[in-house]
Every structure is written in C-alpha cells, then in structure tokens.
Amino acid sequence: MKLIFRPIRKPAEEFAEVTKEPISRGMETYLEMHSFGFPDRPTPANLPVSVRLAATAKVLHERIGILSDILRRLENIGWDVHTEGDVVVVQNQLSLEDGWDVLRKEGISDHVMGLAERGSDKLAAKGPAGGGERPEQGLS
C-alpha cells in the first residue's frame, strides 16, 4: 500500500484555497474578524493580503497538525514514512484491503482519505454516496 501527502501546496494554491466556495461558516467568521478594521469591509473576493495570509496560516496549521498526528501513528505501527521532494510518502507491504483495515482500526481512515493525494492507493467509491467497502486500487 502506498499513500502520498502534500503538506504544503504552492503559495498561490494555498491563498486561493481559503476563499474557495463554499466557504465554511468558521472561515467566514475568521475572515470577518480579521477584516474588521478595514473601512470597506472586504469580501472573500477582495481580501487584503494580510487577512488572506492569516487565513492561510490558520488552514495550514490545522492541516499540518492533523497530518503530523496521522504520520506519527503510522510510524508507531511500523509503516515507512519518508519524504520525496515536497511530498510525504507512506508505504508498507500490506495489500490495499489489509492496509485500509489497519487505517480503520487505528481510527484514521477518514482523515487519510481527506488528505491523501492523487497516486495514493484509495478505496473505490460505491454508488453516489461513496464509502464502498470493496477496496480497489485507484487514483483520486
């Protein structure tokens, strides 16, 4: 099994991500709070650089915190975790099905699905709601 994570994307992608629709209520509140001192009350479309940077830092902090916890758990159970350029690669000798069983038992499969990049071994979605239980190797 192989999983690929990109902890930090290109700056332009990170800046764009904080105002990507739909914006969560939490992020809307964060942007409003940090835009309070500006006379024209900026919207997500015209945020000052300082506010966009603060929001990007918040998102990065949360994502990297979750990812570091996931990687620590995988390292602790003996999975190979290493960097290749700007990505983190996690590998083991388990089959796809057995690997995902371990991730479920560790309670991190949902987090892994949300953070794993294209090229990772993922479970195939089943039906319109996804969440199929029959794993197949595929790309996101």
**What separation in angstroms does the CA of 120 have from each of 43, 55, 60, 108?**
36, 28, 21, 15
Across the beta sheet with 80-84, the strand order is 2-5, 87-91, 80-84
| 114-127 mean pLDDT | 74
What is the reported pLDDT for 137?
Answer: 38
> Which pTM does this prediction carry?
0.76
Phi, psi of 41, deg, nearest 5: 45, 80
Tokens of 16: 């764009």
Among 15-19, 103-107, 113-117, 120-124, whose mean pLDDT is lowest?
120-124
Ranges 29-33, 93-97, 128-132, most confident? 93-97
Write out pLDDT tens, residues 31-69: 888 888 887 877 778 888 888 999 999 999 999 999 999
